[in-house]
Amino acid sequence: MSKKPADKLETKRAAWLERTQHILDISKEEAQALLSIERQQSLRLNPLLVDPKDTLVKLQTLGWQGEPYIWAANGYTIKSGLEAIRDSELVARGAVYIQNAASWLPVLALDPQPDDEILDVCAAPGGKSSHIAALTNNQAELTVNDNSRPRLAKMRANLDRLGVNAEYTLFDATQLTRKLAGQRFDKILLDAPCSGEGLMRYDRDKDFATWSVAHIHRLHSLQKQIILQAWELLSPGGILVYSTCTMAPEENEAVVDYLLRKRADAIVVPTTIEPPNRVPTVKRWNSKDYNPAITGCLRLAPSEQIEAFFVCKLQKLADVPETML
């Protein structure tokens, strides 16, 4: 006899709670409290279009109150005034971009510079691409890709509104080496399709509609394909940042471990950004030990200001020592 929908929901909820306990090495009560936190949005000022100081004054007239993030230039908390900001002309004309602060971390780890050739593999809706453009003053050669024509069209409109210069491609990320044959990039951002646990809430039933351990395993297979494709497009000496907004080790540490096993020219560059909710990476999962270098990746637990997130910065060695082959 098949389970009732309510029973299936509770089974999923219990599974997510138990997994989180083990991932973060905390009690059931602590895990449930973390997964029930209501996340706050943050805002990023867009220096491509406005003077950030002038924009802060305008935000205050809308009732905004907040504080700067010490680790993210032009990034601020939103303690009050979210609705007024969201409906304002500042957002409509691209002066302000509302995001959770976790989304800035992959771009900061990428450290984009003017004249870098950069590929954003799974770029829609374009928030991270616009951040790259802002940090480089539109001086990087930025290619943004997505595999959905409707998403690509919306992203183009979004990036046009934000004053971003970019080249657009519509490719399946598992076919990138064939579609972009002969091209190489200095830096690649792979914010991978994932189960989105960082966006979920324990007490919000609709968040469990697509979540399951089986779905996590399917995504794990897809992520492994994409990271190998992206790696082949990276120039020797180049940087690839892999990120997800999920806590599942299968989608995070396991994918990085897979790349390190498959590609001798891949090394982890320790991420030094220190948000307050940084926690240790998972070193062992489902009886499998991961490469010790994975301790250098950035893993975030859920918090009020910054969602659960995972970021790993990888460099492609120009010369591979024979001992690594």
Place of tokens 């780890």: 109
Q: Which of 122, 194, 245, 297 is catalytic?
A: 245
Measure the CA–CA gap between 199 and 219, rounded to whole angstroms.
Answer: 16
- What letter does residue 64 receive in the DSSP assignment? -
245 is catalytic: yes
Length of the chain: 325
Q: Closest Cα to residue 281, out of 316, 320, 310?
A: 310
Amino acid identity of 160?
D
Neighbour count for residue 260 (Cβ, 10 Å):
17
Q: Closest Cα to residue 132, out of 156, 116, 151, 150?
A: 116
Q: What is the distance in angstroms between the CA of the first residue and the CA of the last residue of the chain?
A: 53
Tokens of 94: 């691209």
Measure the CA–CA gap between 30 and 25, rounded to whole angstroms.
Answer: 10
Residue 248: CA atoms inside 13 Å, Cβ hemisphere, count?
A: 26
Tokens of 49: 């279009």
Tokens of 312: 């790993």
Backbone angles phi, psi at 272, to 5 degrees: -100, -5
Catalytic amino acids? 245
